[in-house]
Every structure is written in structure tokens, then in C-alpha cells.
């Protein structure tokens, strides 16, 4: 079932729903770095060019392309010309792709001779459009993360099994940008062909302290979606981890666990009374708290599984 037709239709809705998972506090730098790695990963999975360059346009105007001299190619085939014309827009438009052209430029001050890193779509898919920028940044921190992600992508393109080392590295060296990229790679690419491999690696990342806790809620959708690729004992381990996290006081952990249980319940994975009795009371308490604080939308299948009735 790898992967584009189903995922392409779902990814926008999933990413939108995940926004509810964020706690009410401001996003941490780790959360932002993860999101950057994930967005770049989406483009790398589809196919894109990534390069460092110098802005040559004196004054950027909405609707007119910006000319950038390509100084260094980081990923994808080089163009024959020394310069690349990149669509530019300062106005957000309804129906824009992954983020839209305006969003791709939103954190960049466009001025002549500015140094920028450009992530440019080559093919259609996952909200990426050919020739449209997914991201343009003059921020050197972001540029460093993009460089690191493209280096990892090149390694995995040559030797996909190196992804095991990359995932394992997160346990002793937290790397939010890399973990965001790995989520995109494991969930959406065709890099690993052995049945169950992507699920096992996503499961290793889920709840891993090396992955920003704010983003643990991104994993249950993919784990449940691909749980058919592993045996019943692994699916049971997944549910057990959902139960464990769902009881925790940490809002991010509780959301991730309860979201996973809600997804299982929506697929008929269990009915009222099948969850561990010792855990049900705590799960009901945490679910009620998240809903009351508007950190989680109501999940009727989960409420039924928990034997919970909210007014």
C-alpha cells in the first residue's frame, strides 16, 4: 500500500487536525525545527531541488518571480542556467498548495544580494507543485537544518537501511529537524520495501525523548494506518503504549496516547470494557481534562470505549 494515492488525499486533513494537539503555550524551538524537517521531508519524498543562492532581484513584487543565483546545490538535479527564477507572492490565496507561494517566503526578507536557501518542488504530490517554492529562508539556523536533512536524504537514497542508525541516534542525541524528516520519510516514501519496517521504526520514534513531545501526536495516525503490516502482538504493543501515554499528566503525552486510542476505537479495535480496568479511570480523567481545555476535540468512539458520557 505504499503510499501516495491514499496519503495524498489524507495528509492535508491530518496535518490540520494535528494542530489541535499543540498545547496552549507558545511553540518551542524544537517543535519549529521538527516542523521544518517534516515540511522539507514532504518535498524530498515527492522530488525537489534544494540550493543555496544569492538574490539578484532588486525589488520583489507580488506575482513576479525573484531571480536567484544558484551558488550551491544541496539536493536534486542542477538546472543548466546559473540563475533560477522562483515564483514570489506576498498575498495568501485560498486553495494554495502545501503552504502556498506566499507562505514559502513569509519568513524571508527579500532584498538584493541576500543569501537564501530554497526548497523548490519538481513534481506534484502531497501538496507540492512543480516549480513552486515550498520554503525560502534567509535564516542561517533553518538553512543548517535543511542542509543536514538533505545530507541525510542523500545517504538514505544510496543506502536505505541507514535509517535504522538515524532513528537509533535520536535516543542519545535529540535532533528535532532530523526526526521531522524521518517521520515524512518513514510514513510517505518508498525507501523501505520490507513489510513492517516503516511501522517498527515509527514505533521506536513514538514517545522517544529524542523526539519533541509536542510532536508525539503526529505518530498515532501513521501507526494505526500501517498496523496491518505487523502481527497482532505488535498491534497490541502499540495499544499498550497508547494506554501508557494516555494516562500521563504531561499534556503532550496524554494527547498522543488518547489520540491513538481514539483512532483504534474508530476502526473497531475495541469496545467498552476491553481497555485495562486499572487504566480506564485515569484515561477518562485525562481525556475529560484535554477536552475541557480545548486541547483535544471530542472523540465519540473513544468515549464509547471508555464508557464515558460528556454533557
CATH number of the domain at 38, please.
2.40.50
Does 180 map to a domain?
no
17-36 core/surface letters (b: 16 or more CB in 10 A; e: else): ebeebbbeeeeeebbbbbbb
What does pTM read for this prediction? 0.88
The gap between the terminal CA atoms of the chain, to the nearest Å, is 40
Whether residue 173 has pLDDT greater than 50: yes
**274 against 244, higher pLDDT:** 244
Q: Verify that 18 and 104 share a domain, yes or no.
A: no
**97 against 264, higher pLDDT:** 264
Q: Verify that 134 and 241 share a domain, yes or no.
A: no
Does 124 map to a domain?
yes
The pLDDT value given to residue 19: 41
d(CA 39, CA 52): 17
Q: Verify that 127 and 232 share a domain, yes or no.
A: no
The pLDDT value given to residue 100: 81
Q: Range of 228's domain? A: 8-28+213-311
Beta-bridged to residue 51, according to DSSP, are: 73, 118
Does 195 map to a domain?
no
Choose the weakest-confidence range: 32-46, 66-80, 90-104, 185-199: 90-104
The pLDDT value given to residue 243: 95
The pLDDT value given to residue 15: 39
Does 196 map to a domain?
no
Does 162 map to a domain?
no
Among the three residues 140, 157, 174, which one is the final residue of a domain in this structure? 157
The pLDDT value given to residue 307: 87
β-strands 66-75, 115-121 pairing: unpaired
d(CA 220, CA 67): 41
Does 181 map to a domain?
no
Among the three residues 127, 157, 187, which one is the final residue of a domain in this structure? 157
The pLDDT value given to residue 17: 36
Q: Shortest CA distance to 183 belongs to which of 154, 161, 163?
A: 163
The pLDDT value given to residue 20: 36
Mean pLDDT of 105-113: 88
Mean pLDDT of 159-178: 95
Please state, rounded to an integer, the average pLDDT across all residues of the chain.
87
Whether residue 134 has pLDDT greater than 60: yes
Does 194 map to a domain?
no
The pLDDT value given to residue 258: 96
Whether residue 22 has pLDDT greater than 50: no
Q: Verify that 225 and 143 share a domain, yes or no.
A: no
Q: Verify that 49 and 81 share a domain, yes or no.
A: yes
The pLDDT value given to residue 273: 65
Q: Verify that 230 and 290 share a domain, yes or no.
A: yes
**6 against 206, higher pLDDT:** 206
Among the three residues 111, 140, 157, which one is the final residue of a domain in this structure? 157
d(CA 100, CA 104): 6
Does 273 map to a domain?
yes
Whether residue 93 has pLDDT greater than 50: yes
Q: Shortest CA distance to 257 belongs to which of 245, 240, 269, 248?
A: 245
Q: Total structural domains in the chain?
A: 2
Amino acid at each position: 500500500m505504499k503510499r501516495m494515492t491514499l496519503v495524498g488525499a489524507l495528509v492535508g486533513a491530518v496535518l490540520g487536525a494535528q494542530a489541535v494537539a499543540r498545547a496552549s503555550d507558545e511553540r518551542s524551538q524544537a517543535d519549529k525545527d521538527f516542523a521544518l524537517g517534516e515540511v522539507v521531508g514532504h518535498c524530498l519524498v515527492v522530488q525537489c531541488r534544494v540550493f543555496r543562492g544569492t538574490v539578484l532581484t532588486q525589488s520583489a513584487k507580488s506575482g513576479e518571480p525573484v531571480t536567484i543565483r544558484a551558488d550551491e546545490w544541496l539536493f536534486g538535479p542542477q538546472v543548466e542556467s546559473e540563475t533560477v527564477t522562483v515564483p514570489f507572492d506576498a498575498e495568501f490565496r485560498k486553495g494554495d498548495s502545501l503552504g502556498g507561494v506566499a507562505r514559502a517566503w513569509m519568513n524571508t526578507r527579500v532584498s538584493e544580494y541576500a543569501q537564501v536557501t530554497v526548497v523548490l518542488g519538481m513534481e506534484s504530490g502531497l501538496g507540492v507543485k512543480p516549480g513552486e517554492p515550498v520554503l525560502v529562508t534567509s535564516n542561517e539556523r533553518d538553512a543548517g537544518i535543511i542542509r543536514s536533512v538533505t545530507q541525510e536524504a542523500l545517504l538514505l537514497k544510496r543506502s536505505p537501511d541507514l535509517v535504522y542508525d538515524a532513528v537509533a541516534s535520536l535516543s542519545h542525541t535529540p535532533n528535532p529537524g532530523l526526526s521531522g524528516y524521518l517521520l515524512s520519510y518513514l510514513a510517505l516514501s518508498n525507501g523501505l520495501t520490507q513489510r513492517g519496517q516503516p511501522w517498527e521504526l515509527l514505533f521506536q520514534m513514538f514517545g522517544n525523548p529524542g523526539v519533541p513531545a509536542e510532536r508525539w501526536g503526529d505518530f498515532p495516525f501513521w501507526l494505526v494506518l500501517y498496523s496491518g503490516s505487523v502481527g497482532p502482538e505488535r498491534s497490541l504493543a502499540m495499544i499498550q503504549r497508547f494506554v501508557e501515554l494516555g494516562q500521563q499528566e504531561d499534556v503532550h503525552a496524554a494527547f498522543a496516547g488518547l489520540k491513538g486510542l481514539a483512532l483504534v476505537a474508530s476502526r473497531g479495535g475495541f469496545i467498552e470494557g476491553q481497555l485495562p480496568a486499572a487504566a480506564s479511570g485515569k484515561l477518562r480523567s485525562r481525556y475529560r481534562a484535554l477536552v475541557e481545555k480545548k486541547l483535544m476535540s471530542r472523540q465519540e468512539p473513544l468515549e464509547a470505549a471508555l464508557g464515558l458520557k460528556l454533557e
